[in-house]
């Protein structure tokens, strides 16, 4: 049966039309699903009993409940969910100075094959459906009793969001709908390794924030680290970034994971500064999160600060983002490392 959590409000209106239910009933139902988080049609007391009976016959309401949670010393919390077909997916709630950030997943595994990332080591299993993506948000908002204190959402968990484009867009529309959680575009960021057609579509279809995982200032090195660069090299990627429709107060975020003696020299910093010239952006510098079996190491503090200072001299905003949750395998690039345990 059809899971109602997979449907945006316009899709829900269309789905209920053959049952003779008008749009206002769809809005009521949507609100019960996302604002009130009803898990049973009988809870939907504003719907007549005969309507609830109709819905029970034809639809289901999925509900995400974590099968495991882990808490980090820094206050981050990782949630491991079990999908209906037995796979584990992971989300991380991260405390920031003035807000919370929730990192959510869009795929089980990943096909991009970036050498520094754990998630893609086992390849791609499947895309997550919209209800599975939104379900992570709904569950964590409920579990932490966040109410109106909604966390910022970053699509930076397991998987490449733009490789699951249709389900990504549906999930964004569900989150932004005023009959649901009513998320502002300012609180949602989609991160990509550089799927250029998806970036162009995202700019046309949404007004959310864009982050690009860059990690190297030249094609040779980036292709070694990120196979996607062989299909969409830097010239195409940066052309798409320059033409991306940005409102006056928004910037593209470039994520740059610094790996010792790989991409962290002063020369790399100067090349990067020239490469991004003319793009309204900021550069998040992320020291590599070391994990067992990885060939890479994090740079030392002096190297980090030297790299940052060169970018600042070139008038870039370049904060050092020290990933949280490393002690529970929840830091950037570590999700999915324990996926084999996630379904137990």
What is the average per-residue pLDDT within 295-324?
94
Torsion of CA 229, 308, 159, 65, to 10 degrees: 180
Position 334 scores a pLDDT of 54
Q: Measure the CA–CA gap between 25 and 250, rounded to whole angstroms.
A: 37
Q: Which of 21-35, 66-80, 158-172 shows the lowest mean pLDDT across its residues?
A: 66-80
117 is catalytic: no
Name residues whose C-beta falls within 8 Å of residue 247's C-beta, 6 or more positions apart in sequence: 207
Q: What is the pLDDT of residue 339?
A: 45
> Would you state the pLDDT for residue 250?
94
Distance, in Å, from the CA atom of 72 to the CA atom of 138, rounded to the nearest integer, reads 21
Nearest to 318 by CA among 278, 286, 288: 286
Q: pLDDT tens digit string along 184-214? A: 999 999 999 999 999 999 999 999 999 999 9
Assign 160 a pLDDT band (cuts: 50, 70, 90). Answer: very high
d(CA 40, CA 237): 46
Band of pLDDT at residue 324, cut at 50, 70 and 90: low
Which value, in Å, is the radius of gyration of the alpha carbons in the chain?
A: 21
Do you know the residue count of the chain? 344
Task: Report the pLDDT value the prediction gives residue 175, as an integer from 0 to 100.
Answer: 98
Whether the CB-CB separation of 148 and 159 falls below 8 Å is answered with no
User: Would you state the pLDDT for residue 332?
Assistant: 63
> What does the pLDDT read at residue 146?
87
Q: Closest Cα to residue 76, out of 103, 107, 108, 109?
A: 103
Please indicate whether residue 103 is annotated as part of the active site.
Answer: no
Give the number of other CB atoms < 10 A from CB of residue 199.
Answer: 22
**What is the β-pairing status of strands 107-109 and 124-127?**
antiparallel
d(CA 288, CA 2): 42
Are 289 and 327 in contact by the 8 Å Cβ rule? The answer is no
Question: Are the CB atoms for 328 and 72 separated by under 8 Å?
Answer: yes
Task: Answer whether residue 325 shows pLDDT above 60.
Answer: no
Q: What is the pLDDT of residue 328?
A: 52
pLDDT in tens, 51-81: 999 999 999 999 888 888 898 888 899 999 9
Residue range 101-139, pLDDT digits in tens:
999 999 999 999 999 988 877 789 999 999 999 999 999
Residues paired with 2 in a beta bridge = 59
The three-state secondary structure class of 156 is coil
Q: List, in sequence order, every residue forming a beta bridge with 62; answer none if it has no partner.
A: none
Q: Choosing from 67, 114, 332, 341, which is the catalytic residue? A: 332
pLDDT of residue 341: 43
DSSP codes, 23-69: HHHHHHHHHHHHTS---SGGG-TTS-HHHHHHHHHHEE-----EEEE
Which one is catalytic: 70, 90, 132, 255? Answer: 90
In angstroms, the Cα distances linking 282 to 27, 192, 212, 273, 275 are 39, 15, 11, 11, 13
User: What whole-number distance in Å separates Cα of residue 246 and Cα of residue 83?
Assistant: 36
Set out the domains of the chain in order of their start, with CATH numbers: 2-60 (1.10.150.530), 66-342 (3.20.20.70)
**Dihedral angle, C-alpha 57, 85, 342, 133, nearest 10 °:** -60
Are 168 and 146 a contacting pair, CB within 8 Å? no
Sheet holding 209-213, edge to edge: 66-71, 77-82, 88-95, 100-103, 152-155, 188-192, 209-213, 252-258, 281-287
pTM, two decimal places: 0.93
Average pLDDT over residues 291-297: 85
The average pLDDT across 43-57 equals 96
Burial class (CB in 10 A: 0-12, 13-18, 19+), 73: exposed
């Amino acid at each position: 049966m059809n899971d109602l959590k997979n449907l945006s409000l316009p899709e829900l209106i269309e789905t209920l039309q053959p049952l003779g239910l008008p749009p206002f009933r769809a809005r009521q139902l949507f609100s019960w699903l996302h604002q009130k988080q009803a898990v049973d049609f009988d809870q939907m007391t504003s719907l007549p009993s005969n309507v609830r009976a109709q819905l029970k016959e034809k639809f289901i309401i999925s509900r995400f409940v974590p099968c495991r949670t882990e808490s980090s010393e820094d206050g981050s919390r990782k949630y491991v969910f079990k999908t209906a077909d037995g796979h584990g997916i992971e989300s991380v709630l991260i405390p920031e100075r003035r807000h919370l950030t929730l990192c959510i997943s869009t795929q089980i595994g990943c096909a991009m094959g970036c050498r520094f990332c754990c998630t893609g080591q086992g390849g791609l299993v499947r895309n997550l459906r919209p209800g599975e993506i939104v379900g992570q948000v709904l569950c964590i908002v409920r579990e932490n009793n966040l109410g109106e204190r909604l966390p910022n959402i970053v699509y930076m968990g397991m998987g490449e969001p733009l490789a699951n484009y249709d389900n990504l867009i549906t999930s964004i529309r569900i989150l932004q709908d005023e009959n649901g959680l009513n998320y502002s575009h300012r609180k949602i960021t989609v991160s990509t390794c550089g799927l250029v057609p998806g970036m162009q579509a995202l700019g046309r279809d949404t007004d959310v924030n864009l982050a690009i995982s860059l990690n190297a200032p030249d094609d040779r090195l980036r292709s070694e680290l990120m196979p996607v660069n062989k299909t969409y090299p830097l010239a195409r990627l940066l052309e798409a970034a320059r033409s991306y429709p940005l409102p006056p107060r928004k910037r593209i975020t470039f994520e740059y994971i610094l790996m010792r003696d790989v991409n962290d020299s002063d020369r790399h910093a100067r090349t990067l500064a020239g490469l991004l010239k003319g793009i309204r952006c900021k550069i998040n510098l992320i020291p590599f999160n070391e994990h067992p079996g990885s060939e890479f190491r994090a740079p030392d503090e002096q190297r980090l600060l030297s790299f940052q200072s060169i970018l600042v001299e070139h008038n870039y905003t370049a904060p050092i983002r020290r990933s949280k949750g490393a002690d529970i395998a929840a830091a950037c690039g570590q999700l999915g490392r324990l996926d084999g345990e996630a379904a137990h």
